[in-house]
């Protein structure tokens, strides 16, 4: 299992040819209380770096970009009823959607956890 991060604060956890996507713990802390999540439709193809979902908090609405390209094979329906799961478990139960990878080599351009931590520390 591999976990990678983007400069837009998405994470992607890859198991086989399936990638689970969400926002990082840093992103949820910057957003504040999440009040709504708009998820992509099942079967939709998303492209790396393009908008795939929207997360709204008491502070702002933000796009969630696809860290890798693929077809949406699952969405986290629980977020519709309880969007605060993003705050409680951003990198666990608060995931947004799952993709079937169309180009696994795109993962090579993303940061590992150590590089992402360095990146976030550089933002302060």
Domain that holds residue 56: 2-104
**Domain for residue 123, yes or no?**
no
Average of per-residue pLDDT values in the chain:
97
Query: What is the percent of the chain where pLDDT is above 70?
Result: 100
**Domain for residue 112, yes or no?**
no
pLDDT of residue 1 exceeding 90: no
DSSP 8-state class, residue 109: G
Mean pLDDT in residue range 106-121: 97
Q: In what order do the strands lie in the sheet with 10-15?
A: 2-5, 10-15, 18-23, 97-101, 70-75, 45-46
∠ CA 45-74-48, rounded to 5°: 35
CATH of the domain at 29: 2.40.50.100
Predicted local confidence at residue 78, as pLDDT: 97
**Domain for residue 115, yes or no?**
no
The answer to whether the CB of 15 falls within 8 A of the CB of 96 is no
**Domain for residue 61, yes or no?**
yes
pLDDT of residue 87 exceeding 90: yes
CA–CA separation, 17 and 103 (whole Å): 10
Domain count, the chain: 1
pTM of the model: 0.96
What is the band of 49 on the pLDDT scale with cuts at 50, 70, 90? very high
């Amino acid at each position: 299992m591999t976990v990678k991060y983007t400069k837009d604060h998405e994470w992607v956890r890859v198991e086989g040819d399936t990638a689970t996507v969400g926002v990082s713990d840093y992103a949820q802390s910057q957003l504040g209380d999440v009040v709504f999540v708009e998820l992509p439709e099942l079967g939709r193809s998303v492209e790396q770096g393009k908008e795939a979902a929207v997360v709204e908090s008491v502070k702002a609405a933000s796009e969630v970009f696809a860290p890798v390209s693929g077809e949406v094979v699952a969405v986290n329906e629980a977020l519709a009823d309880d969007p605060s799961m993003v705050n409680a478990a951003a990198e666990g139960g608060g995931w947004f959607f799952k993709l079937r990878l169309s180009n696994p080599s795109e993962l090579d351009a993303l940061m590992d956890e150590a590089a992402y931590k360095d990146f976030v520390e550089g933002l302060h």
